[in-house]
Amino acid sequence: MFWLDLVGTFVFALSGGLCGVQKRLDPFGVVVLAFAAAISGGLLRDVLIGAVPPAALATWYYLAVSAVAAGACYFAHGTIQRLATLIAVSDAIGLGLFAVVGARKALNAGLSPVMAAVLGMLTAIGGGIARDILINRTPMIFRGEIYALAALAGACIVTFGAAADIPDAITAPMGAFLAISLRLVAMRQGWSLPRARPR
């Protein structure tokens, strides 16, 4: 789970770093935005389950990974932006990994399957919310994107699999695959949730 967490951290840090470059922030601002995007979901999860200090602050690994991603965005943003599709796929992968890791940690903390799935979803989407708020943009989950729903579906596989005594070695890959696939198919097909229509 630790390595899955680091991979997800790097992917989300890339998304934050790219947004920082697009907003023409200075190098420090790019690193801050990358770090916020990478760890906010995990911070929220750890605080809510009482795992303090949060994993992202207990070691230097998460900051280092975020800084490397931010540096890549700052110095090679042209190349990275040309890989927009790859970044979108990577973001979907990060979503699936964080949903699975968050759900498993919530179960370890004694949460019920339903609430563990919700916390897994919050882990996966928290970084994107923090990133969008910091750059004054409406978070993706409020724009009709099938994003949080994909994370919730993947987290449910892990939590309800655990309730049925199915090993994590089976449910974790299945949950991550479901979340990633649902997100990628929704992007490909242009699926979105219906929006409110005020009269």
Q: Which domain holds residue 67?
A: 2-189
Does some domain include residue 169?
yes
pLDDT tens digits along 78-103: 776 676 676 777 778 888 988 999 99
Tokens for 50, please give them. Answer: 């009482």
Count of domains forming the chain: 1
Full-model pTM: 0.85
Q: Which of 178, 190, 186 is nearest to 153 (CA)?
A: 178
At residue 78's C-alpha, the angle toward residues 137 and 71, to 5°, is 75
Q: What is the largest CA-CA distance in the chain?
A: 51
Does some domain include residue 195?
no
pLDDT tens digits along 45-82: 999 999 889 988 998 999 999 999 999 888 886 776 67
Does some domain include residue 58?
yes
Cβ-contact 5, 38 below 8 angstroms: no
